[in-house]
Chain A
Amino acid sequence: MAIVSLQEVCKTYDTKVAVDNLSFRIEQGSMFGLLGPNGSGKTSSIRMMIGMTVPDSGSVTLFDQPFDRKNLHRVGYLPEERGLYKKMKVIDQLIFLGQLHGLETTKATKRAHAWCERMEITEAIPKKTEELSKGMQQKIQFIAALLHEPELIIMDEPFSGLDPVNATLLQDILLDLNRQGRTVLFSTHRMDQVEKLCDTICLIHHGRSVLSGPMQEIKSRYPKNRVAMVFEGDASFLNHPAVESAKNYNGMAEIKLRDGADAQDMLAEAIAKARITRFEVMEPTLEEIFIETVGGRVDA
């Protein structure tokens, strides 16, 4: 079942084309990455999914049905622009947002407390939002998006502004929710941050889809022509004919191989000349794939 599906969707704001003939499907239970540089149309697409704006043409379905506001209670949305009432107490705020998503007061209160515990911010519960640190506010916002146990979780730039410890905490929670069968949509320009998390992606640029499909399938389309290695001793093997270019940082080398060249040949020569402590043929990163596909400067 497609949790979300966009078919040939177009959206223009006054004169700017935000989304241009975009189509993709998000299957139930997947971790979907909507990736692209700033201003590529990610947030505009999300807004159409949840009915904040209406597409100029094309169609959007949510939970396999034409858009219906009633289904919004099944969606949790963490907007890119975080927003909470500054003067409101955290607990009141969470209850209020929970109620707006259809929860009863008692249920919302209970869940808010449980989530605050899980996010390690119980001390923030009685405080006003404006008294909290940015990271804490982020966590509150995160809880607000999850309180009503949505089937579809939409996270717009979820890790921006979080320290590594908290980013990991958040990742773990999202992975856990995904294991419970919930669908997660990541929207971000930091492709490295979600590379490990997503199983399906859609890369967009200037409102158009440039690449989409299951992550492994996309990656396998690109040659594994990069090698990372760590060695001690003679570095002359880097002049091997299979090597197109190489950077050597005191025994840590990043190597790009010629098309069709076999990494094993080079490894053989390297073993003969130096002591190898690490040798890895690397998959291309999403960022590299994106840059190669778009072919040009990405103004991120």
Chain B
Amino acid sequence: MRNVWLIARREYLERVRTRAFLISTLLIPLLMGGGIIASVVSTGKAKAGSHITIVSRDQRLAADLQDELQHGKNSQMTVDVISPGNSTTKSTLDSMLADKQIDGYLWITPADNPDARPSISYTPRSAGDIATRDAITSALRTVLMRERLSHRGMVPRDVDSLMEPVKIDTTQAGKNADITSSFVAIYVLFFLMYMVILLYGMNVARSIIEEKTSRVFEVLLATIKPEEMMAGKVIGVGSVGLTQVIVWLFTAVLLTSGSWISAIAGEKVHVSLSPMQIIFFVVYFLLGYLLYSSIAAALGAMVNSEQELQQFNMILVTPLAACMFALAPVVSNPSGVTARVISLIPFCTPLIMYLRISLATPPAWEIALSILLMVLSIYGVLWVASRIYRVGILMYGKRPNLPEILRWLKYS
């Protein structure tokens, strides 16, 4: 046990001291925070700077629209009105567009029949400026609706109260968050899980190859057993991963629970991580890591260089990548048969069962079963991997083929 501890400690300290670890540990929360701020800021103030021109014969409609766009709930645009336009207006506006004086112009041709809708065309400077177009569309809808309603004799105040948008508070069982933003959190955690399992699994393989190419293991094997070496490695690298995950989750909790975020977002965004989400993230990360890193350890022992390892990467990546395809059916129906079956396949459990736990609480026995199945598979994979490791670590040169590997399993 002392040897396992020594190997694990060396592995941990050497990795944690590297600049790469420091950077990735700090960079991910920075990106998370930046992403949240960016999305909050961009949804809040996207249309601030737009400057458009409205051309219409109907002065009242144009003025209404101007008012709505300049002082409405969701926009603060600068709006000029030309009413009515003449034959040269269009070419003038086109040249203004080209000179970047305006961001677009709106041409409204009122219908002959007062009950029919006017025909409207919008010419933007950049076709990609969707935010401005959306703002105009919603302002137009409001203005036209208001106009039509007052046509039919409604008082403006009634019109406003009638057009107040409906607000839905969504609550999940036992969770208190609005559904869109917790969806974001769930996706982020899903991809984070995918990333850390793969990353740290590969790190185990790399670390073994490093010892193999530098021949350090010859010195190590003179005092310790290959099994101890492998266990130490898996534990050491895994602890590094765990450290990083805990730092990330801690930052995520700080980022999402802080009052500053609602200060910026104006009470609109609630991203929250429940304690369940955090605990199960750690549990499934550890299980997933153990499963994949044991396979990686065997792969690392079999090959001679990182280049050779690349060819085997598929073995690690494929099951995890397959979970991506399962994402859609599981998200749309987290308690459906498909989701339940996939989440019990040990290679998919860390991703899919975790996703299910985040989305809707699955029955406790399913969670327990998934953990049991994973522990059993980890045991089996470790048994095979340690045998491959023991023989493979002493082999150089030719890469073993499958029959040879099967023969290794029989060596005692």
Taking Cβ atoms with an 8 Å cutoff, the residues of A that contact B are 14, 47, 50, 52-54, 69, 72-73, 75, 77, 79, 81-88, 96-97, 99-101, 141, 144-145
Residues of B within 8 A of A88 (CB): 10, 14
Residues of B within 8 A of A52 (CB): 221-222, 394
With CB as the reference atom, state the residue of chain B lying closest to A97: B219
CB distance from A12 to the nearest CB of B (A): 12
Residues of B within 8 A of A99 (CB): 6
Question: Is B324 in contact with chain A by the CB < 8 A criterion?
Answer: no
Interface contacts beyond A14-B404, A96-B10: sample of 4 additional A-B pairs, CB < 8 Å, sorted by A: A79-B222, A83-B216, A85-B216, A88-B10
Contact call A100/B215, Cβ cutoff below 8 A: no
Question: Is B88 in contact with chain A by the CB < 8 A criterion?
Answer: no
In the docked arrangement, what's the CA distance between A86 and B218, Å? 15
Residues of B within 8 A of A83 (CB): 211, 214-219
Dominant SS at the B interface?
Answer: helix
CB distance from A267 to the nearest CB of B (A): 52
With CB as the reference atom, state the residue of chain B lying closest to A73: B223
Are A144 and B219 CB-contacts (below 8 A) given A69-B225, A85-B214?
yes
Residues of B within 8 A of A14 (CB): 404, 407
Contact call A100/B214, Cβ cutoff below 8 A: no
In the docked arrangement, what's the CA distance between A89 and B100, Å? 61
Question: Is B328 in contact with chain A by the CB < 8 A criterion?
Answer: no
Interface string of B387-412 (1 = CB under 8 A from A): 00000001000000000100100001
Contact call B222/A77, Cβ cutoff below 8 A: yes
With CB as the reference atom, state the residue of chain A lying closest to B214: A83
In the docked arrangement, what's the CA distance between A81 and B404, Å? 24
CB distance from B408 to the nearest CB of A (A): 10
Question: Is B224 in contact with chain A by the CB < 8 A criterion?
Answer: yes
With CB as the reference atom, state the residue of chain B lying closest to A80: B218
Question: Is B3 in contact with chain A by the CB < 8 A criterion?
Answer: yes
For chain B, give the interface size range: 20 to 34
Residues of B within 8 A of A77 (CB): 219, 222
CB distance from A261 to the nearest CB of B (A): 50
Closest 6 CB pairs of A and B: A83-B215, A79-B218, A77-B222, A83-B216, A81-B215, A83-B214
With CB as the reference atom, state the residue of chain B lying closest to A46: B222
In the docked arrangement, what's the CA distance between A85 and B412, Å? 29
With CB as the reference atom, state the residue of chain A lying closest to B218: A79
In the docked arrangement, what's the CA distance between A97 and B7, Å? 10
In the docked arrangement, what's the CA distance between A73 and B224, Å? 10
Contact of B218 among A54, A69, A81, A96 (CB under 8 A): A81
Question: Is B220 in contact with chain A by the CB < 8 A criterion?
Answer: yes
Residues of B within 8 A of A85 (CB): 14, 211, 214, 216
Residues of A within 8 A of B7 (CB): 100
In the docked arrangement, what's the CA distance between A87 and B220, Å? 17
With CB as the reference atom, state the residue of chain A lying closest to B225: A69
Contact call B223/A82, Cβ cutoff below 8 A: no
Residues of B within 8 A of A47 (CB): 394
CB distance from B102 to the nearest CB of A (A): 59
With CB as the reference atom, state the residue of chain A lying closest to B18: A87
Contact call B216/A53, Cβ cutoff below 8 A: no
With CB as the reference atom, state the residue of chain B lying closest to A88: B14
With CB as the reference atom, state the residue of chain A lying closest to B13: A92
Contact call A87/B223, Cβ cutoff below 8 A: no
Most buried by A among B7, B10, B223, B224: B223
Residues of A within 8 A of B404 (CB): 14
Contact call A100/B223, Cβ cutoff below 8 A: yes
With CB as the reference atom, state the residue of chain B lying closest to A148: B223
Residues of A within 8 A of B222 (CB): 50, 52, 72, 75, 77, 79
With CB as the reference atom, state the residue of chain A lying closest to B217: A83
CB distance from A134 to the nearest CB of B (A): 13
With CB as the reference atom, state the residue of chain A lying closest to B224: A100
In the docked arrangement, what's the CA distance between A260 and B119, Å? 126
Contact call A100/B14, Cβ cutoff below 8 A: no
Residues of B within 8 A of A75 (CB): 222
Residues of B within 8 A of A69 (CB): 225
Contact call A84/B394, Cβ cutoff below 8 A: no
Scan residues 1-45 of chain B and give those whose CB is less than 8 A from a CB of chain A. 3, 6-7, 10, 14
Scan residues 225-249 of chain B and give those whose CB is less than 8 A from a CB of chain A. 225
Residues of A within 8 A of B220 (CB): 100
Most buried by A among B3, B211, B221: B221
Residues of B within 8 A of A100 (CB): 3, 6-7, 220, 223-224
CB distance from A151 to the nearest CB of B (A): 14
Are A79 and B6 CB-contacts (below 8 A) given A14-B404, A85-B14, A100-B224?
no
CB distance from B4 to the nearest CB of A (A): 11
CB distance from A187 to the nearest CB of B (A): 13
CB distance from A195 to the nearest CB of B (A): 26
28 contacts between A and B (CB under 8 A): A50-B222, A52-B222, A54-B412, A72-B222, A73-B223, A79-B215, A79-B222, A81-B215, A81-B218, A83-B214, A83-B215, A83-B216, A83-B217, A83-B219, A85-B14, A85-B211, A86-B214, A88-B10, A88-B14, A96-B6, A96-B10, A97-B219, A99-B6, A100-B3, A100-B223, A141-B219, A144-B219, A145-B219
In the docked arrangement, what's the CA distance between A277 and B71, Å? 116
In the docked arrangement, what's the CA distance between A72 and B3, Å? 13
With CB as the reference atom, state the residue of chain B lying closest to A72: B223
In the docked arrangement, what's the CA distance between A99 and B6, Å? 8
Residues of B within 8 A of A97 (CB): 219
Residues of B within 8 A of A144 (CB): 219
In the docked arrangement, what's the CA distance between A229 and B109, Å? 121
CB distance from B72 to the nearest CB of A (A): 60
Residues of A within 8 A of B224 (CB): 100
CB distance from B230 to the nearest CB of A (A): 15
Contact call B214/A53, Cβ cutoff below 8 A: no
With CB as the reference atom, state the residue of chain A lying closest to B216: A83
CB distance from B329 to the nearest CB of A (A): 45
In the docked arrangement, what's the CA distance between A119 and B37, Å? 59
In the docked arrangement, what's the CA distance between A82 and B219, Å? 8
Are A84 and B214 CB-contacts (below 8 A) given A52-B394, A97-B219, A144-B219?
yes
With CB as the reference atom, state the residue of chain B lying closest to A101: B223
Contact call B216/A87, Cβ cutoff below 8 A: no
CB distance from A71 to the nearest CB of B (A): 11
Contact call A84/B216, Cβ cutoff below 8 A: yes
In the docked arrangement, what's the CA distance between A256 and B269, Å? 99
In the docked arrangement, what's the CA distance between A200 and B3, Å? 35
